[in-house]
Structure 1
Amino acid sequence: MQVVNWLPRTELPFAAPSRPELLEIPEPVVVAPVVPAVVAETPVAPVAKPVERVKIEVPRPSLASTRTGAKPVEEAEEAPVVVKAPIVPPPRFALQLLRAGRCLLLVELPTGEPFQTRDPAYLLLKDMLRAAGLPDSPQIVGEPVRWPLLVRGTMDQGPEAARDFVQGFLSVRMEETPCACLWLIGLPAVRFAGEADAEAFNRELQIEGLGPAWAVPGLELLMEEPQRKADVWQAMRRLMARWKESNE
């Protein structure tokens, strides 16, 4: 708090006479606000764009239309889309041709290698031959038929090529030594020699150019599913007369 005026209670000696106007409080000065003058904006007239003239193009006759006998251009027909057949991988199998009496046996090799005397599949085959009244020591005819023939190359090695090769191989062997019945043991033998599938097991087939054949399940399948042996035995009894008459 500041002291504005100081008045003594007693008169001081040698003091100047007091002036009452000093005790009056001056009125505050009110300053009038300054209002800025509003400047009126002069409207700007828009600039008119010049009107553009519309150009009319007159088509000119082409040289082709002025020529006599001109033919209209025909739209090219869309070329038909050629759908390529999916590439089928070549089948893989190994077959061995054997002879027992007057029967030829085209047998699927379960391991892909020739039979050994102690192989369970070969022992089962010997049992089947004894039950059929045939020699139980079959003779090997030629090398195993393995497919595909080539690992690389452009030669067709699809299912149809495999069928033609197997049937051609059998045809040559049967011309050398005829047989009374051809045993097709295993699905690859039935499929590529007899042109049939697994539904033909235990049935007799008539193959053009090869004669009668008997479709038999594979040796590996018979060992895995022994209940199939009963159907094989029943089918064998129906066909046994073919090779027994030949043996006699």
Structure 2
Amino acid sequence: MQVVNWLPRTELPFAAPSRPELLEWVEPLLVEPPEPGAAPVPVAKAAVAVEPITAPAARPRIEVPRPSLASTRTHAKVEEEAAPTVAKAPVVPPPRFALQLLRAGRCLLLVELPTGDTFQTRDPAYLLLKDMLRAAGLPDSPQIVGEPVRWPLLTRGTMDQGPEAARDFVQGFVSARLEDEPCVCLWLIGLPAVRFAGEADAQAYNRELQVEGLGSVWALPGLELLMEEPQRKADVWQAMRRLMARWKESNE
């Protein structure tokens, strides 16, 4: 209804006294119409005083230091380097070989089986062995002593079948046969026989060795190696001539 001021007709009980400035008459402001072609005069708007809104005081923010990713990785790397590293022992596969123990006169022969099977009368390796025995002045038909020693013993299981276990087994086997019937010289023919009975390597070929529990042993190349490299037979013959007197004297 566009009512600006309102005055009561009678005095209201307990009412506050009226302000006299509200009862004064204010003449309306006359605005002359603008002349034709003149720019309109902007009417100034009453400025309204607006109290600024004060933002509430912000709570103090506490910064918690956090380790960076780089420092975390560096710290972890330092701890890893400081931790003692346990070196794992390399897994050594078990050696594979087959040996046959033979007796010729007062000598024992521990011979590598080239094919892994027992000798046959017409095998080239066996014929070469017979020739070597005849040249040494020993019976050329050696007797088989026990079953062939084949290593590894077991294809499965947790039993230790490494080189040291193979050496102990071969030496124990030969030592037991020597207790049954001693010999004056033990021939070790082939690298497995030299390695696991004589505790030597190929550098000991054609040499006489002293092995604890086995006595005097003679290291020889394998029969297949002698057939593949015939020039080695001369070295075998020279070494045989130095040792031949030992078993010949025992046969007389």
Same fold (TM over 0.5): yes
Question: Which residue pairs with 1:217 in the alignment?
Answer: 221
Question: Which residue pairs with 1:87 in the alignment?
Answer: 91
Q: Percent of aligned positions with the same letter in both sequences?
A: 86
Q: 2:60 aligns with which of 45, 49, 54?
A: 54
CA distance, structure 1, for counterparts of residue 175 and residue 248 of structure 2: 23
Residues 196-207 of structure 1: pairs in structure 2 closer than 5 A: 196-207=200-211
Question: Which residue pairs with 2:244 in the alignment?
Answer: 240
Which amino acid is the alignment partner of residue 227 of structure 2? M
Which amino acid is the alignment partner of residue 123 of structure 2? D
Shift of 1:81: 2.4
Q: 2:100 aligns with which of 91, 96, 103?
A: 96
Which SS does the other structure have where 1:199 is aligned? helix
Q: 2:129 aligns with which of 125, 129, 132?
A: 125
Unaligned runs of 5+ in 1: 1-46, 58-77
Question: Which residue pairs with 1:113 in the alignment?
Answer: 117
For these two proteins, the number of residue pairs brought into alignment is: 183
Which amino acid is the alignment partner of residue 198 of structure 1? A
Question: Which residue pairs with 2:198 in the alignment?
Answer: 194
1:48 to 1:151, Cα distance in 2 relative to 1, 3 A: farther
CA distance, structure 2, for counterparts of residue 109 and residue 210 of structure 1: 21
CA distance, structure 2, for counterparts of residue 187 and residue 208 of structure 1: 19
| RMSD of Structure 2 on Structure 1 (CA) | 2.0
Unaligned runs of 5+ in 2: 1-52, 64-81
TM-score under structure 2 length normalisation? 0.69
Which SS does the other structure have where 1:111 is aligned? coil
Shift of 1:52: 3.2
Q: Where does structure 1 differ by over 4 angstroms across 4 or more consecutive aligned residues?
A: 47-51
Alpha-carbon displacement from aligned partner over 1:111-153 (angstroms, at most 9, x marks no partner): 1000001011000000000110100000000000000000111
Q: 1:157 aligns with which of 161, 164, 185?
A: 161
The answer to whether 1:227 aligns with 2:231 is: yes
Shift of 1:48: 8.5
Which amino acid is the alignment partner of residue 233 of structure 1? W
Question: Which residue pairs with 2:148 in the alignment?
Answer: 144
Alpha-carbon displacement from aligned partner over 1:77-136 (angstroms, at most 9, x marks no partner): x76322111111110000000000000000000010000010110000000001101000
